[in-house]
Amino acid sequence: MFARIARRYDAANHLLSLGRDYAWRRKLVAAVCDSSPRDILDLATGSGDVAFALSGRSPSARITGMDFCPPMLEEAERKKAAVPGRFANVHFLPGDGLNLPQAAGEFDAVTIAFGLRNMADRRRSLEEMRRILRPGGRIFVLEFSQPRRWFRPFYFLYLERILPALAGLVTGDRAAYVYLNKTIRAFPGREALSAEIAAAGFEDVKSQGLTFGIVALHEARKPD
Ligand SMILES: C[S@@+](CC[C@H](N)C(=O)[O-])C[C@H]1O[C@@H](n2cnc3c(N)ncnc32)[C@H](O)[C@@H]1O
């Protein structure tokens, strides 16, 4: 499905989130850079926007963007090649979040933005992220969440009716965005996701809601 929409993915993101996606990624990147990690894996990197934003804030870090969808990675490579020399510390690799190709303890931080919702087995992908982190390393999950109660009627109306129609026009693939609506509605809220992250072996789980709670940033630590 991501292969079908890869070329129009960024444009659809900016339009459908009314530009909020820039602010959400900035928040994620600021949280990551607080702990000055040297080796960062951006899992489910898609067209690479988180990896590029990390590179801008952390030019000395080594950033690996990983995804299992070749057309999304091609889009990321195309964007990197469009600004020669700018993102020299970013490289992209194919890989499956349920079976990461890296050895245990290789990374200081793992980021995953709007990717955990798409993993076929959330528990397993969280455990894989823990495995490839060094002890004390941190995970940062940016993902849709369940918004504040008063905002839900407007939000769900938008998700169900307006978003698929608008996305259909931009990407030519309405079905992909009906899927988006379904996965967003089925995804756990902040407390439940925090519990899942803890159950996968992380500690100090913290979360904050963004834009009336439609998105949440979770952060946690692999025990020493
Ligand atoms: C909604 S996009 C998010 C892309 C990017 N992180 C962003 O913030 O725009 C979700 C991505 O997850 C990737 N994905 C889904 N399941 C995956 C898996 N098992 N392993 C690696 N990538 C996966 C898809 O290919 C897609 O590029």
Q: Which two tokens stand for residue 224?
A: 């020493």
Q: Which two tokens stand for residue 188?
A: 């756990």
Burial of 81 (0-12, 13-18, 19+ CB in 10 A): exposed
The pLDDT value given to residue 2: 82
Number of domains in the chain: 1
Classify residue 179: in a domain, yes or no. no
The pLDDT value given to residue 3: 81
Classify residue 119: in a domain, yes or no. yes
- Pocket probe for ligand 1: among 13, 26, 45, 173, the residue whose CB has the most ligand atoms within 8 Å is 45
Q: How many CB atoms lie within 10 A of CB 223?
A: 11
- 217 DSSP β-pair partners: 142, 208
Cα torsion 120, 126, 127, 131 to 10°: value is 120
The pLDDT value given to residue 74: 96
Q: At residue 7, what is the residue type?
A: R
Q: What angle do CA 143, 146, 158 make, to 5 degrees?
A: 95
Domain that holds residue 198: 18-147+187-221
The pLDDT value given to residue 79: 96
Under 8 Å between Cβ of 90 and 83: no
Under 8 Å between Cβ of 107 and 129: no
37 lines ligand 1 (CB under 6 A): no
Q: Whole-angstrom Cα distance, residue 74 to residue 217? A: 27
The pLDDT value given to residue 9: 80
179 lines ligand 1 (CB under 6 A): no
Burial of 36 (0-12, 13-18, 19+ CB in 10 A): exposed
Q: What is the CATH number of the domain that holds 139?
A: 3.40.50.150
Classify residue 126: in a domain, yes or no. yes
Q: At residue 37, what is the residue type?
A: P
Classify residue 154: in a domain, yes or no. no
Q: Whole-angstrom Cα distance, residue 64 to residue 91? A: 5
115 lines ligand 1 (CB under 6 A): yes
Q: Whole-angstrom Cα distance, residue 211 to residue 22? A: 12
The strand order across the sheet containing 90-94 reads 90-94, 62-67, 39-43, 107-113, 133-144, 215-221, 203-210
Q: How far is the CA of 137 from the centre of ligand 1 (A)?
A: 22
Under 8 Å between Cβ of 54 and 39: no
The pLDDT value given to residue 113: 98
Classify residue 143: in a domain, yes or no. yes
Closest residue by CA, ligand 1 atom 16:
119
Classify residue 70: in a domain, yes or no. yes
Under 8 Å between Cβ of 208 and 216: yes
Q: Indicate whether this model's pTM tops 0.85.
A: yes
Under 8 Å between Cβ of 197 and 210: no
220 lines ligand 1 (CB under 6 A): no
111 lines ligand 1 (CB under 6 A): no
Classify residue 216: in a domain, yes or no. yes
Q: pLDDT tens digits for the chain (224 residues)?
A: 888 888 888 888 888 888 899 999 999 999 999 989 999 999 999 999 999 999 999 999 999 999 999 999 999 999 999 999 899 999 999 999 999 999 999 999 999 999 999 999 999 999 999 999 999 999 999 999 999 999 999 999 998 889 888 888 888 888 878 888 889 999 999 999 999 999 999 999 999 999 999 999 999 999 99
The pLDDT value given to residue 171: 84
The pLDDT value given to residue 18: 86
Q: How far is the CA of 150 from the centre of ligand 1 (A)?
A: 30
Classify residue 174: in a domain, yes or no. no
- Pocket probe for ligand 1: among 43, 50, 72, 128, the residue whose CB has the most ligand atoms within 8 Å is 72
Tallying the residues shown for the chain, one arrives at 224
